[in-house]
């Protein structure tokens, strides 16, 4: 039986709800991880999501951040934060489906490498590292997906010279991601032959999407125990071309 999982930073679930519902009906993923839902739990559109055939768990807050998991089957063992890390920003949502642990992340953006938010991003990634070490011991079949706000390599950036040393590509961010992946997580996108210049985020400004001036910062990482079952991974650019889109495109992985 095949299994399809996706991640999508919707940049406001309120604004993007019709996009999401259209996309769900077309793509029929088994699980979707959403980031930047930007609403409180009391405002989550449970009825619409349920009508579309999905269970939902969510970890929202007012105005910013917020993550959710939609699933055709009910999810279990929900966690909503990194352990032992005091943080009022809602960026984590973990759940279990059968024997697969799914961890949805909205990694801090960091603003700029000179910013206090950059320090927070690096500390957050350090805490994430500890958490994933433990989760890998508990759950050999692990999927860690979401908006990582890190482009792993220069080939994940349309204009590496322009971005060099800056946020999303700085050495410390990339090293933090590499250290996490070295625990036993694979970038599912890079398990397969991909064309050139595939990105998951394009700035709203400067006609960046039309010109494909993007960066690949949304990822689906999988543990070694899932490697043999993973069939494909691809970025779905279609909803990015719709009217009033999110600035991110969904990324999808399929498993047998």
In sequence order, the 6+-apart residues with CB closer than 8 A to the CB of 106 are 9, 35, 36, 65, 66, 67, 90, 91, 92, 146, 147
Strands (E), the chain: 3-9, 31-35, 55-59, 67-71, 76-79, 92-97, 100-106, 142-147, 185-187, 201-202, 214-215, 218-223, 230-235, 251-255
Using the rule CB under 7 A, give the single segment among 11-19, 23-31, 185-193, 234-242 that binds DNA.
11-19
Residue 161 interacts with DNA (CB under 7 A)? no
Residue 19 interacts with DNA (CB under 7 A)? no
Phi, psi of 4 (to 5 degrees): -125, 125
Residue 148 interacts with DNA (CB under 7 A)? no
Using the rule CB under 7 A, give the single segment among 22-30, 35-43, 129-137, 177-185 that binds DNA.
35-43
Three-state secondary structure call for residue 39: coil
Query: With contacts defined by CB under 7 A, how many residues of the chain interact with DNA?
Result: 30
Write down the catalytic residue from 30, 147, 187, 218. Answer: 147
Using the rule CB under 7 A, give the single segment among 46-54, 75-83, 124-132, 197-205 that binds DNA.
197-205
In sequence order, the 6+-apart residues with CB closer than 8 A to the CB of 254 are 2, 3, 4, 5, 230, 231, 232, 233
Among 25, 51, 112, 178, binds DNA (CB under 7 A): 112
Instruction: Tell me how far, at minimum, the Cβ of 84 lies from DNA, in Å.
Output: 22
Residue 175 interacts with DNA (CB under 7 A)? no
Residue 119 interacts with DNA (CB under 7 A)? no
Residue 253 to residue 113: CA distance in whole angstroms: 31
Residue 88 known to be catalytic: no
Residue 136 interacts with DNA (CB under 7 A)? no
Residue 147 known to be catalytic: yes
Residue 97 to residue 174: CA distance in whole angstroms: 30
Residue 40 to residue 58: CA distance in whole angstroms: 9
Write down the catalytic residue from 106, 131, 139, 199. Answer: 106
Residue 64 interacts with DNA (CB under 7 A)? yes
Q: Which residues are catalytic?
A: 106, 147
**Contacts to DNA by CB under 7 A:** 9, 11-12, 14-15, 36, 38-39, 62-64, 108-109, 111-112, 117, 147, 149, 167-168, 201, 203-206, 215, 217, 244, 247-248
């Amino acid at each position: 039986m095949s299994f399809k999982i996706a991640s999508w930073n919707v940049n406001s679930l309120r604004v993007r709800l019709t996009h999401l519902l259209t996309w769900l009906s077309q793509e029929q993923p088994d699980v979707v991880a959403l980031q930047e839902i930007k609403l409180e739990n009391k405002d989550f559109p449970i009825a619409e999501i349920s009508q579309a055939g999905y269970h939902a768990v969510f970890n929202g807050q007012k105005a910013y951040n917020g993550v959710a998991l939609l699933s055709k089957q009910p999810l279990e063992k929900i966690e909503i934060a990194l352990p032992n890390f005091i943080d009022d920003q809602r960026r984590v949502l973990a759940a279990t489906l059968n024997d697969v642990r799914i961890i949805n992340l909205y990694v801090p953006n960091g603003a700029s490498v000179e910013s206090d938010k950059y320090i927070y991003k690096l500390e957050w990634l350090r805490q994430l590292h500890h958490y994933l070490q433990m989760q890998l011991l508990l759950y050999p079949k692990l999927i860690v997906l979401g908006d990582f706000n890190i482009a792993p390599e220069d080939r994940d950036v349309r204009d590496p010279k322009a971005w060099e040393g800056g946020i999303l590509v700085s050495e410390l961010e990339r090293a933090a991601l590499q250290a996490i992946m070295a625990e036993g997580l694979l970038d599912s996108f890079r398990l397969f032959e991909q064309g050139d210049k595939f990105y998951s985020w394009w700035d709203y400004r400067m006609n960046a999407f039309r010109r494909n001036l993007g960066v690949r910062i949304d990822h689906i990482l999988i543990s070694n125990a899932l490697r043999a079952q993973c069939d494909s991974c691809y970025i779905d650019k279609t909803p990015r071309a719709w009217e009033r889109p999110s600035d991110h495109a969904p990324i999808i992985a399929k498993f047998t």
